[in-house]
Structure 1
Amino acid sequence: MLSRRQRHRTTNKRQMKKSYFWVGAVILLLCTLAVVQAFSQDTAVPVAVNKFYPIEQETFTAWPQWQEILFYGVPGLELAAKQQNGTSQFTPASLLSNFFMMLTSVDLRDMRSVINSEIPVVASIKSSKPMTGGERVALFSKAAGKTELDKSKPLVGIYHTHTAESYIPTSGVDHKPGGQTGDIIQVGQALVKQMEKYNIAAVQSTTIHDYPSFMKAYGPSEITAKKMLEDNPSIQMIFDIHRDAQKREYTTAMINGQPAARIMILVAQGQPGLEQPHWQENHAFAKLIDAKLNQHYPGLSRGIQLVEWRYNQHLHPHALLLEVGCQENSVEEAARSMEMLGDVLAEIIAENKFQ
């Protein structure tokens, strides 16, 4: 038989359980109301651009990486971040959210806190490289007192990390053997010639970097790029021109009735130990080129790919890696693409007359 004290303890436990139940029910109700309110916004939330499809493209063409989904692609995430920067309003939803955050440390107005609470691993992950916006930026300063660009001096630099890369329809091989220069050199020369038509000087290096080691080619090519920039401080943009390893159907476009090798623009973000301080400037430059190509030659650009490497792009704020066609394209198709790229670069330079 239970004593009075034991019966009292049992009654207290039952009452506490009932209290916990009702408190939990209230919290769940408040949570539901707050979430419904948070997601009833009419504002459209853009999904972050993934590195595997064009930066200006609005339609979905490929699955983004999971990090980008968590940090940028969750509906309501970007909106919540914007709301935090605005003025706070005391609404029933905000009061409920504040009460819930006090109890759980989860801010229902900020989807990142919800994600972090549900997925512990995410809390330890930081997005170290925020996506740049879609706004256009001026490449060259137009401040008073600056002098016009001297077109008699090289404004464009061109080199090739993988100098042996070739096109099978032209050479019968995708790489020239034994340290020979490949067809990719002719592609760079085509860009130089096109710039000359606009009286814009361009300098090209044909130095071999991928022999004897193809995998270690970026070390020697960095030396070449540094020297090119030191010898030609007038250079405003520098390109490492390659060809991709793909299928022709993905890298060929009909432009003005003729086949042309499509151009992929690679922007290196860097990684720990290989920092890339210019990646956002390079990204803005890439977006400008991509937009111009889409405007004048729709289909020529394959878009922008962000990569976690450096590819010598830390050397200059307008340094990019270009993949021109693939091994199944011809040199003629790649050279045709360089002519169109030259038109776009000349237009960009004309619109930014001051350095």
Structure 2
Amino acid sequence: MEKKRIKAKLLACVLICILPTTTSFAMDKEDFFRYLINSSYPETNTNEEKESASTKNNDDEKNDNNDNNDDYIKVHIGEENIPTLNSDDNSSKSKEKNESETSLLAEYKDNVRVTSATPRMLIYHTHSCETYSNSPSGNYHSNDPENSVIKIGNLLTTQLTNKGWGVVHNTTIHDNPSYNNSYSNSLKTVKSMLSAYNSVDIAIDLHRDASANVTKETNKNYTTTINGEKVAQICFVVGMKNQNVDEVMKIATDLTNLANEKYPGIAKPVVKKSYGRYNQYVAKNGILIEVGSNAVSIEEASASTKYIADILDSYFK
């Protein structure tokens, strides 16, 4: 890995020296950065590679392998930073963690919690190991459900159920051991859940955003205050390669507008990803929600769930 770093530095110096002036101005910093990543870390994929792979292969599962890497590259560069499930050497902490996990997942059978005989909503997590600021180990990726998007999915399930919705919450881990296969793994889960519960027509992939720098200032960029309470902001993401992209975009836009009408400042603008699909074509209503980021605490993300539930309830009922 050290040789790769040296190679990248040498390559950067050579390119800066030999590239014509017109070329250097034509290539912005992001493009140059992606070039260096590809040269030094062939195990990673940039947007251009993903789009090419997607164009060549129409198989759903193979295409969706490549939907998830852009934000990942910004935080993780090189094999040494690929998220892994963390082991805890302290036995007392391990025991406390296991008890906490058992408490959270007690309502689940085979990673599934169902709150109605005829549920309409499915909540799942393509990046199940995404954690918040309370759990920074593993570069904010670990099997720590009490401080991860799984906990947020659990709370959102409860909030929606309290409003009369039937919900299926699936806690299957899709991003470990292979992060790059996250979307193909979650695609299998979505198809399985839709087959088992044919009353479901709303599929919500619940994530959190990623920030390379976790600071107090970053936290401010992902939180807002509602009714005197500090909560995580939310964001809807749309994969522009979906064949039903118009419908996906309409739902995301409508939900964003409704969210800010009811709770000003809670929703960031819709994020459009030109190279992705994120399994949003599978269900009638495919939604990807990001709740806060790794710079946000689990408490701040949890506080958002009652507002998210109210927004979804108001829109879909």
Question: Same fold, TM exceeding 0.5?
Answer: yes
One-letter amino acid of the counterpart of residue 338, structure 1: T
- 2:272 aligned with 1:306, yes or no? yes
Do residues 316 (structure 1) and 272 (structure 2) align? Answer: no
1:59 — aligned with what?
A: none
Amino acid at match of 2:135: S
Structure 1 residue corresponding to 2:302, chosen from 307, 310, 335? 335
Which residue, 150, 166, 174 being the options, matches 2:131? 166
Q: Percent identity?
A: 32
Letter in 1 for 2:225: M
AA aligned opposite 2:176: Y
Equivalent position amino acid for 2:207 in 1: H
Deviation at 1:262, TM superposition (A): 0.5
Q: Which runs of structure 2 are paired with 1:1-355 in the superposition (5 Å)?
A: 153-168=118-133, 170-173=134-137, 174-177=139-142, 181=145, 183-246=148-211, 247-270=218-241, 276-308=242-274, 309-350=276-317
Whether the 8 Å CA contact 1:266–1:304 is kept in 2: the answer is yes
Mapped contact 1:265–1:321 kept (Cα < 8 A): yes
Structure 1, gaps ≥5 residues long: 1-150, 271-275, 351-355
CA-CA distance at 1:215 after TM superposition? 2.1
SS at match of 1:315: coil
Q: Which amino acid aligns with 2:229?
A: Q
1:341–1:192 distance in 2 versus 1, CA, 3 Å: same
How far apart are residue 197 of structure 1 and its match?
1.3
**Counterpart code for 1:318:** N
Deviation at 1:171, TM superposition (A): 2.4
1:183 to partner: Cα distance: 1.2
Q: TM-score, normalised by structure 1?
A: 0.52
Summarize deviations over 1:197-226 as a string: whole Å, max 9, x none: 111111111001111111221110110111
Q: CA RMSD for the aligned pairs?
A: 1.6
Deviations 1:270-301 (A, max 9, x none): 1xxxxx22111111111221121011111000
* TM value normalised by structure 2: 0.58
How far, CA to CA, are the matches of 2:179 and 2:294 in structure 1? 17
Distance verdict in 2 for CA 1:283–1:317, change over 3 Å: farther
In the aligned structure 2, how far is the partner of 1:243 from the partner of 1:298? 20
Aligned AA (2:121) = V
Verify the 8 A CA contact 2:118 2:166 in the aligned structure 1: yes
How much does 1:152 deviate? 5.1
For 1:290 and 1:175, locate their aligned partners in 2 and report how far apart those are by CA, in whole Å: 27
Partners of 1:333 and 1:249 in 2: how far apart?
A: 11
Other structure's SS at 2:152 match: helix
Between the aligned partners of 2:310 and 2:117, the Cα distance in structure 1 is 18
- SS state of the match for residue 118, structure 2? coil
| Contact 1:152–1:200 under 8 Å retained in 2 | no
Q: Which residues of structure 2 form unaligned runs of 5+?
A: 1-115, 212-217
CA distance in 2, matches of 1:347, 1:180: 32
Q: Measure, in 2, the Cα distance between the counterparts of 1:278 and 1:199.
A: 28
What one-letter code is carried by the residue in structure 1 that aligns with 2:159? Q
Distance 1:291 1:152 in 2: 32
- Per-residue displacement from partner, 1:52-101 (whole Å, max 9, x unpaired)? xxxxxxxxxxxxxxxxxxxxxxxxxxxxxxxxxxxxxxxxxxxxxxxxxx
Distance 1:314 1:253 in 2: 31
Q: For the Cα contact (< 8 Å) 1:279–1:317, is it kept in 2?
A: no
- The structure whose residues are more often helix, as a share, is 2
Q: Which stretches of structure 1, 4 residues or longer, exceed 4 Å deviation after superposition?
A: 179-182
1:253 aligned counterpart, secondary structure: strand
The one-letter code sitting in structure 1 at the alignment partner of 2:154 is Q
